[in-house]
Amino acid sequence: MADNTRLNEDKEISPCLVKEEGFNVRMWGAQRRVTLDVLLICWGIGTWLGVNGLYVQLPLLVERLPEGWALPSSLVLAVQLANIGPILYGLLGRLRPHASDSPYIYGLLIVGTLSLIINAFVYDMTTVIGGADRSLPFLALVFGAALVGCTSSVLFYPYLRHFRDIYLATYLVGEGLSGFLPSILSLIQGVGGEPECLPSEDSTQLVPHYPPPLFSTTVFLVILGAMSAMSLISFFIINNYRVFDSEKVTQTVETKDENIVEERESLVAPKWVGVLVFMVLLNAVNNGLMPSIQSYSCMPYGTRAYHLAVTLGAMANPVACLAGVWLRPVGARVLAGMLLAALVPFVYMTVTALMSPAPPLQYDVIGEVLIVFSWVVVSGVVSYARMWVYGWVRRGGARGMRVCGAVTQLGSASGSAIMYFVVNFTKLFVQPDVCAPLST
């Protein structure tokens, strides 16, 4: 199996690679086929499209699905379970070591496309589990969509080794757009405004009625399904159009890194242990804690605040990713300063979630601005820090990246599991009734 130097992420886009010796990420200034660039961007869009698209729909879904504000913690757990994809791919790679990656890629993109399109029509269906309504169809299809993103990290990148390295940057742009485009679409969609409490048909209680957004979740997911189908078609053309053979590398070039004797420093050296522990914490926070508490932190300030925090925060990730491609990475001290500065809004976000449903400045415009600003800043800084670590561990070669991949999943899985139980089985985070009961 090709060198699996990329990692499995549970949410958002895989971090971009930064400039290293011998690794050229220049977008322009080199002879290239623009048609292949376009196709690679379209293919890359299909990677994390499903996860990011469903994530930015949460401001609408938490109001309509029975889990309410606890829905994000269930979604994060469903995405984590999709990491079974890389495990199965690894097993298949051992059983069929010389098999082509193309059939696996086709299969993944088909699963992702169908998951989005089917979810568009069944996302609000529920199943009774343990005496309570649960969004089982929605979460099962989230799992299907997440399989693409999680497995793409160890499947799509090895395939790119067949092409000249200048095309990796364009693929990464497409991967970044897999988070950016759903965010733009969600901003256009809007949330429809705050709910209005009206009497039920039997006049025994007040029930919330939500103004519709510009277009429904069904339309949103169908559009994402069409984008995913475009990704599938783009890969089909890349894989079968012979005119692109001139852009491929020879087998000697493709495997040259595997023939280098790796006399590298030990991965148990103190600085390596420190960086890997840092990566565990970053992913536990980014992929476990933050998405699980965001509804409790933002919803008390209104649906608009939650909507903007989610969508603008999702945009911060590809911006950080592109910064890592085109700008020289900052030094360790500068990064530490950025993280210390981001600690202030992070603490504020956590406190507002714990104080839900009555956080400070709840009915003040400045409160809404502060909470949105805090989530965008923290999302951007954490995304950049994760990308920075990926660039740093490249000095350990394939071995370093694999170890980093393992600790990334350790952090993501542990953070997601812990927060699922904290949100659902403790009373630390409280969701109020949307409508007060009728007085008798």
The residues pairing with 198 across neighbouring beta strands, listed in sequence order, are 207
CA angle at residue 412 from 407 to 416, to 5 degrees? 150
Distance separating alpha carbons of residues 410 and 404, to the nearest angstrom: 10
Dig out the tokens for 108 from the structure.
């993944």
Domain ranges for the chain: 34-425
d(CA 305, CA 367): 9
CA 405 to CA 325: how far, in whole Å? 20
The C-alpha atoms of residue 109 and residue 360 are separated, in whole angstroms, by: 44
Mean pLDDT, each 10-residue run in order, the chain (440 residues): 38 40 42 84 92 91 89 92 88 84 93 97 92 92 93 81 78 83 90 73 72 90 97 94 78 47 62 88 91 93 91 82 71 91 96 93 93 95 86 73 78 90 91 66
Q: Cα separation of 7 and 234, whole Å? A: 23
Which residues make beta-bridge pairs with 127? 134
Residue pair 94/115 in contact by the 8 Å Cβ criterion: no
Q: Quick one: fold of 34-425?
A: Growth Hormone; Chain: A; (1.20.1250)
Task: Give the span between the Cα atoms of 224 and 230, in whole angstroms.
Answer: 10
Provide the angle, in degrees to the nearest 10, between the axes of the packed helices 136-160 and 102-122.
160
Alpha-carbon dihedral of residues 107, 109, 111, 116, nearest 10 degrees? Answer: -170
- How far lies 406's CA from each of 1, 87, 283, in Å? 18, 11, 11
CB-side neighbour CA atoms (13 Å) of 14: 33
The number of beta carbons lying within 10 Å of the beta carbon of residue 419 is 24
- Neighbouring CB atoms inside 10 A of 61's CB total 21
Are the CB atoms for 303 and 193 separated by under 8 Å? yes
What are the Cα distances from residue 102, in Å, to 32, 112, 288? 23, 15, 32
How much is the pLDDT for 196?
74
- 357 preceded by a cis bond (ω within 30 of 0): yes
Rounded to whole angstroms, the Cα distance separating 11 from 291 reads 9
Contact in structure between 427 and 28 (CB atoms under 8 Å): no
Percent composition of the chain: helix, strand, coil (DSSP 3-state, to 5): 70, 5, 30
Instruction: Give me the pLDDT at residue 397, please.
Output: 67
Q: Which residue, 160, 309, 367, is CA-closest to 249?
A: 160
**Tokens in use for 284?**
């536990």
Confidence (pLDDT) at 389? 85
Determine the pLDDT at residue 146. Answer: 93
CA–CA gap between residue 144 and residue 412 (Å, rounded): 18
Question: Would you state the pLDDT for residue 1?
Answer: 39
Residue 3's alpha-carbon distances to 8, 259, 400, in angstroms, are 14, 12, 12
CA distance 363 to 376: 20
Distance from C-alpha of 221 to C-alpha of 49, rounded to nearest angstrom = 10
Q: What is the distance between the alpha carbons of residues 375 and 72, in angstroms, rounded to a whole number? A: 15
Closest by CA position to 13, among listed 317, 401, 234: 317
Give the SS3 label for residue 131: coil
